[in-house]
Structure formats: structure tokens, C-alpha cells
Homo-oligomer: A and B are copies of this chain.
């Protein structure tokens, strides 16, 4: 009765056996692989007492846990509350936003522990994990959350779980190429997380293009309270971004510096976002979409360079530019991408992650190329870029070149991977909703009857006023 006209075209969104099957299959696989491969790293293992003696450590405080755990928890909040609530802005897709983000991230971190573990923490047949692995797993999943933003409201939970499986895999490969083969720096992930994640998601949504999406256009907006829920996500991302960009930097000055640079960049970004949000609108009013998203671009754009000697004013400049670029993107570019390039980008990740991610990669390359022993100090210079072993003779300008190459690699991986995954997700049996049912929790969730219907009853003479 509710949607009679399109019932003929209605897709099969029945999840009862498919979704449980995928979830259980994925999880059983995780248990087996963890059983075979994953063990505690030396700082989390009960043999730590002996380890301490061997390493001549005098105090438990030298355990990496105390260097990184507070940052880990901040990153954790960004992934689950930050991304989750940022996407609750849609009036009737709050459950899907926060719930599916929860689901894909919970699966993704497990698979990321394995994938990243094989590449980076594999020793005598075992993956040895510690708090830094947890952070990196959260980071990896961050790129999936970003891609989720592009397809929000248009995919089934099964599609999301499949995308997560592939994207985490590709992320780990790309990360390995960048960090190990090209030996580049990207502690806050401008390239590995944002550029890769965003262009991956944009490619997927391009392939999943829905020509009749205007049928659910009335549900693609926000309501007053959903915009406030989204601000919870925005603020937690904004506040904790200094932790994000510093979480896996070297102990000491690098972590300290990364936090300061990010703090500065984000602060500047808010002012230019507000300026351009007001300026680009005829009535001069502020648009919540910009405040919720473009204010964060400054954090994305110092992801590579935050741990370098970018300097506070350098960070302000980057944030200044990104607030503008991102806001302008929301106003002019998103409609263009949708109408001309058929890229339907629900959350505007092109403006928040793709462009600022590219800027971040470039800023990182320039900052690296401009590095001198004078600015970093003799030891600091070597430590900052890890110019040791094979890379002992690498110069800053060569490093800058490799950093730039990292952007290109990330883009290529994103396009190729996104195409592959998009094609897989296009298969007709994953249970995505018909165009007129997009952006609607009712398809996959038990949704409680709401005040609206109470009000309806109130005015309906056939039913009692208070049910």
C-alpha cells in the first residue's frame, strides 16, 4: 500500500539468510586466520618482563602502550562516532549511517590486522600485534568509512561487507608500496587513507550509478535534529584529528609537532569555511553541510606533512586554502559531478577527502623536498625521513619526488580497485534497494513508529488520540 507504483520494479532486499551468512562466514574466517597467525607482540606478551631486561628498560612506562594508547582511543572514537554520526545527517537514514558504519568497521579492523600484519608485523610465521597495529587497523578502516560516504543510502549491508573485504586488502597493498617500496612518509594518511579511500569510493559510486535516484530525492536532505546529530560526528573528528595525524609518528617531537600542526590547520579551516559558506549563498546564510564537512578538510590536508617541520603558519595556510577549496567544491563541483560525470556522492567525499587528500600529498612532497639539516638538526633530519640503511643517501628533493609518486600510485590503485569492486557490487543478488527506496532505514531496519504517526492518529477521527 505504501509504494504501490513501483512495486513491480522493487528489488529483493530481504536480508534474512544472506546477511547472516556473510557475517558468519567472514567472522569464522577471521577466527581461523587469527588462530593460525596472530599473537601478542613483545610489549603485550607476558614475557615482557624478560624483554624489558634485554632492552635495558627501567620502567613499564617505556611500553609503547603509554606512548600511543590515548591517541588510539581518540582515533577509535573518530572511526565509530566521528564517521558514524557525521553520516546521520540524512533525515531517515540515521540507523544505517551509524549502524552499518559500526558493522563494516568492526569487520574491517579484524581483516586489517591480518592484511597489515602480513606486510609489516610478520615474524617467524606469526603476526605480532600491539597498540600500533590497532591504530593502523583503525586507519585502514577509516578509508572504508570514507568510501562508504559516497555510496551512503544506496547499498545493502552485504555490499558494504564485500567492499570492506576488498578495500582493506587493496589499502594494505597500496600502503606497502608507498611506505616500504617507495619509502615515503604519510603518518596521517593524506595519500593512503584519504586520496585512496575517496577516489576508490567515487569510482565505486560511479559504477553503481543510479539514473532514477531523484525518486528518493525528498529523503536525501536533513531535518533539524539530524543535522545536530551530524555535528557530534563533525566535532569529534575535528577535535581528535590532532591525535589522528600524530598517532603513529615517531615518539617525542614528531608526535608533538604533528598534533600542533593539525590543531593549527583545522582552526584556520573553520574560518574560511564559514566565510565561503556565507559568500557563495545568495541569502548569505550558513549551510550546515559546509560546517559539518569542509571544516575538516584542514586535517586531511596536513596528513602527510603534520609530522614534518611544516611550521604553525604553514599549517594555517594549508587550512586556509582547504576550507575554501572544500566549500567551493560542495557548492559547484558536487552538482557538476552528479549531472555530468554521473558520480552520485552522497556525503560529498570528493570535497572533504579527495581534493584535500591530493593537496595533502602535494604539501607533503613539497615539505619533504624543502627539508634541510639546518631546519631539522643533523639527527632530526635522518630520523624524520628515516634516511638510514638503503636510504642513507636519499636527498630531500628525491624524497619529494617519491612522495609525489605516492600520490599517483594511490590514485591508480583507487581507480583500478574501485572499478573492480564496483563491478562486483553491481551483481544483482546483493540486495540493494530500488531507487525510490534509497536513503530509507525502513528497508533494512526495524524502525519504530514515530511522533509523526502519533500526530497522524491525533487528527484521525477513526483512531484514539493517544495510542
Q: Which residues of B contact A430 (CB under 8 A)?
A: none
A19 and B284 in contact, given A313-B31, A380-B49 (Cβ under 8 angstroms): yes
Q: How many residues of A contact B (CB 8 A)?
A: 150
Tell which of A38-46, A178-186, A333-341, A387-395 binds the partner. Answer: A38-46
Complex interface residues of chain A between 273 and 329 (CB less than 8 A to chain B): 274-276, 278-279, 281-288, 291, 295, 309, 311-313, 316-317, 320
Within the complex, the shortest CB–CB distance from A184 to chain B, in Å, comes to 18
Within the complex, the shortest CB–CB distance from A174 to chain B, in Å, comes to 23
Instruction: Verify A252–B15 contact, CB threshold 8 A.
Output: no
- Cβ of A462 within 8 Å of any chain B Cβ, yes or no, is no
Oligomeric state, in copies: 3
Instruction: Verify B252–A60 contact, CB threshold 8 A.
Output: yes
Instruction: Verify A286–B225 contact, CB threshold 8 A.
Output: no
Query: How far is it, in angstroms, between the C-alpha of A444 and the C-alpha of B62 when the chains are bound?
Result: 51
Instruction: Verify A99–B312 contact, CB threshold 8 A.
Output: no
Complex interface residues of chain A between 17 and 63 (CB less than 8 A to chain B): 17, 19-21, 23-24, 26-28, 30-31, 34-35, 38-40, 43-50, 52, 59-63
Query: How far is it, in angstroms, between the C-alpha of A40 and the C-alpha of B261 when the chains are bound?
Result: 9
Instruction: Verify B283–A16 contact, CB threshold 8 A.
Output: yes
Q: Which residues of B contact A384 (CB under 8 A)?
A: 46
Within the complex, the shortest CB–CB distance from A318 to chain B, in Å, comes to 10
Instruction: Verify B106–A40 contact, CB threshold 8 A.
Output: no
Query: How far is it, in angstroms, between the C-alpha of A239 and the C-alpha of B109 when the chains are bound?
Result: 13
- Cβ of A466 within 8 Å of any chain B Cβ, yes or no, is yes
Instruction: Verify A98–B235 contact, CB threshold 8 A.
Output: yes
Instruction: Verify B134–A260 contact, CB threshold 8 A.
Output: yes
Name the contact of A313 in the complex, choosing from B34, B60, B270, B282 (C-beta under 8 A): B34
Scan A90-118; emit 1 where CB is below 8 A from any B CB, else 0.
Answer: 01101100110011001101100100000
- Cβ of A264 within 8 Å of any chain B Cβ, yes or no, is yes
Additional 11 contacts, C-beta under 8 A, given A40-B312, A52-B252, A131-B259: A16-B283, A43-B253, A46-B384, A50-B379, A70-B70, A73-B243, A76-B239, A95-B227, A98-B235, A130-B260, A225-B225
